Structure 1
């Protein structure tokens, strides 16, 4: 046996009377990414969308200038973090599909946790810079025409910066990686079909297609929906020299961005039965039961 392989093997002992004797891996790197993306969608639904609905119905801001500044920063962080997570997911799936044998050594829970923290930190820093240089970060910087108004004015230079940093560059990376993933998945599907046909002729066995193919298609739909929601927003922002949130068009396309956060969980719920089952356990608070660690989300596999 190879020496390096033997060094990577860790022996763990379990004792029936001590549940803590075995270290249980509750999360994989991919699960952490899905959790981070779900956290973004949840925060948008709990914080941003209720306030925006209130503002849309009454067209008046009741939370003052400080509340306006805080919401702007939170909104900027969440929207940029959503795309950041999609980039990480694309990179994760690219490595998993193109180099599956070394995936567990290249992508670990610790490394992925650090990447997620760095991604959220970058989004926070960019949001602070973005609103500070557009005179929207501090209450003293916000100028309103009347009391009860929360209007964002963005300079055209920063529209271009935002377009490059948080749209063109990451979306180009995502599209390139997914084009490679789909090509690899197509080759894998052909191989599986060939093996399936051969096995069916010899033994009558039925083989399933790789789960990576389904994951790639699902995440590809997530990317498509994301682009469909964001492209109108940026096309509109490039049509004027100074963008203001008081515009009706801005409000309509801005809501497309919030709706995107609502669509992601629906996509996962449609394609993954385990996602629906886990959501049911969470919403019904059954995860707090002592037997929750033994819930089987994949009954067909056992």
Structure 2
């Protein structure tokens, strides 16, 4: 069997491992379809919220932030990982490798930051609905998103720098044609706590308060209606409760997708291994970016309505931005 190299003209080239066969071809096609669907669905979310004026609310702005982070996964990280599965060589150079590694860390941090801001937004909306519109505005939310994304980017550079990985030492360490991220175990533990345990704990605590308050309000309204023998609509701000429940599902799906990855990350120092376990857990984590738009499509009528307008090209009309997507559903 002839040994192939990523760069035959280089003495330090990595050995090429080409994966062929019917099973591998089917896997590549499947993962490519997932990548395309992730980009397509998140673009629908981004275009919907950006285009239609009625969707310019603080909560939807946070959903937009989450969709942008998910778009980075489908547009950049998924195709790069598919290339790595086809053959283990990295042909794009050290600079692109560094950028991809930064995007990989940043997209995760930005997603979790957006979810934490969503949890805070829903907590205020359910716990103090009367003053919500005063406390939470589109301008304030935009400022929080910019601050959150800036903090995430700063953290990623600090993490990679002090891990002695991106800036202080070369990325392709063992051979030419490799893009590997090595994380020292102490920093892996720190990253797990800072970017997963603490934010997720805050999110889960806030959502426990949200559902407790929502249940209390629902019982109080039913008690009043029963006492007065009145029949009427539930005035306990059901739309806010529904939004909290939907976004709570988003958080639960996120945890189910990422917990296996983080648990397995504590078992070794390299987070770029091409083993079967790493491949499965890595793609399970990436597929979280595909699940969020599907959840919106199932639970949000405005997303289904906006998608119809976009796919039928009715958004090209000059007055389409002012269409009320809620009028047929609420």
TM-score (norm 1): 0.83
CA distance in 2 between partners of 1:45 and 1:244 (Å) = 19
1:122 aligns with 2:129: no
Q: What are the residue-to-residue correspondences of 1:127-276 with 2, within 5 Å? A: 127-138=156-167, 141-194=170-223, 202=230, 205-207=232-234, 210-240=238-268, 242-248=269-275, 249-276=277-304
Partner of residue 57, structure 1: 86
What's the TM-score once normalised by structure 2's chain length? Answer: 0.77
The answer as to whether partners of 1:134 and 1:154 remain within 8 angstroms in 2 is: yes
Deviations 1:69-104 (A, max 9, x none): 010001111111000000000000001110111112
Segments of 5+ residues of structure 2 without an aligned counterpart are 1-52
Name 2:122's counterpart in structure 1. 93
1:281 and 1:56, CA in 2 relative to 1: closer, same or farther beyond 3 A? farther
Distance 1:110 1:195 in 2: 37
Q: Are 1:66 and 1:138, in contact at CA under 8 Å, matched by a contact in 2?
A: no
Report how many aligned residue pairs link the two structures.
276
Kindly report structure 1 stretches of 4+ aligned residues shifted beyond 6 Å: none
Q: Which residue of 2 aligns with 1:299?
A: 327
Q: Deviations over 1:37-65 (max 9, x none)?
A: 11111221112112211222222222111
Secondary structure of 2:270's counterpart equals: strand
CA apart distance, 1:67: 1.0
Q: Which has the higher contact order (CA 8 A, sep 6+)?
A: 2
CA deviation profile, 1:212-256 (whole Å, cap 9, x unmatched): 22112111111111111111111112223x234124233322222
Alpha-carbon RMSD across the aligned residues, in angstroms, is 2.3
CA contact (8 A) 1:69 1:138 kept: no
Aligned counterparts of 1:124 and 1:59: Cα–Cα separation in 2: 28
1:45 aligns with 2:70: no
